[in-house]
A and B are shown apart, each in its own frame.
Chain A
Amino acid sequence: QVQVQGSGPGLVKPSGTASLTCTVSGMSISTDHWWSWVRQAPGKGLEWIAEVFHNGNTNYNPSLKSRVTISVDKAKSQLSLTLHFVTAADTAVYYCARLNGPNAFDIWGQGTMLTVSS
């Protein structure tokens, strides 16, 4: 059974750095799929942040590119997201999702909440 489990610090102070991780189990993270981070602020819509391929190739949303780093650790079957200089606007649930080529985001993690507050 495929599981995508997100984890993170929960609470980060403004101007700090947040590091989030998704652990994929029940399937290989090294298949030919892009893995993305998507976030959702409270009561708002979904926002795509970035994507990574198992070979380390990445793409970023220009709106966040200057503050975000996405990476993959194949040995641990994990993808990570680092968000620098966080503000209250970064408060959101952060999801991992697998892009299955033309078949869209077919696998989603359960989401991890990040709150930015002093």
Chain B
Amino acid sequence: EIVLTQSPGTLSLSPGERATLSCRASQRVSSNYLAWYQQKPGQSPRLLIYRTSSRATGIPDRFSGSGSGTDFTLTIARLEPEDFAVYHCQQYGSSPLTFGGGTKVEIK
């Protein structure tokens, strides 16, 4: 099983700032099948990024993903008020599919 470790656990930033979230895998992620989801309180996760760096439909270009192998990053170029949420990474290249523990981006 691939274990995903997200850091930091909490990121305290102000609107307009840049957010950099990390997701590290215990083994290489097959085909770079690494996704990022945004989740707000009481809501279902929403797909942001798939296959490491492809933005899902309707996702603003301030969200970008990068990385390969075992190290992946989600960057939010300039935080908007609606971006404060929890972000989950997920690998779906090998079974069992696994998620990281999440990073909470909170308003400083």
Contacts of B101 in A (CB 8 A): 45
Does A23 belong to the interface (CB within 8 Å)?
no
Evaluate contact between B96 and A48: CB separation under 8 angstroms. yes
Contacts of B63 in A (CB 8 A): none
Does A26 belong to the interface (CB within 8 Å)?
no
Does B24 belong to the interface (CB within 8 Å)?
no
Contacts of B37 in A (CB 8 A): 46, 105
Rounded to whole Å, the gap between the CB of B17 and the closest CB of chain A is: 25
Does B28 belong to the interface (CB within 8 Å)?
no
Interface range for B: 20 to 34
Contacts of A103 in B (CB 8 A): 47, 50-51, 54, 56
Contact surface of A with B, Cβ cutoff 8 Å: 36, 38, 45-48, 51, 59-63, 95, 97, 99, 102-106, 108-111
Subset of 16 A-B contacts with CB under 8 Å? A45-B101, A45-B102, A46-B90, A61-B96, A62-B96, A99-B92, A102-B51, A103-B47, A103-B50, A103-B56, A104-B47, A104-B90, A105-B37, A106-B56, A108-B47, A110-B44
Contact surface of B with A, Cβ cutoff 8 Å: 1, 31, 33, 35, 37, 44-47, 50-51, 54, 56, 88, 90, 92, 95-102
